[in-house]
Amino acid sequence: MSVSQAADFLGISVRSVRRHSANGDLAHRRVGWLLKYERSVLDAFAKNIGGNRKGRAR
């Protein structure tokens, strides 16, 4: 899965969580924390792939 596909997937899941949640504020806060965590994981993952590609290219 590419980073943009992952972002699309996360965006869809966030919207559905918000829509179906009885307590929207709590869900929103929890989702905000999850997205921050996911974003850092995706960034690290993307950097790792980039580093591997550079290593192979040399």
Structural domain boundaries in the chain: 3-57
pLDDT at 19 over 70: no
Q: For the chain, how long is the longest CA-to-CA vector?
A: 53
For residue 36, give both structure tokens. 């921050």
pTM: 0.28
CA separation for the pair 54, 35 (Å, rounded): 28
Cα–Cα–Cα angle for 17, 7, 52, rounded to 5 degrees: 140
- pLDDT tens, 25-52? 665 666 677 777 777 877 877 777 666 6
Nearby residues of 45 by Cβ (< 8 Å), 6 or more positions away: 3
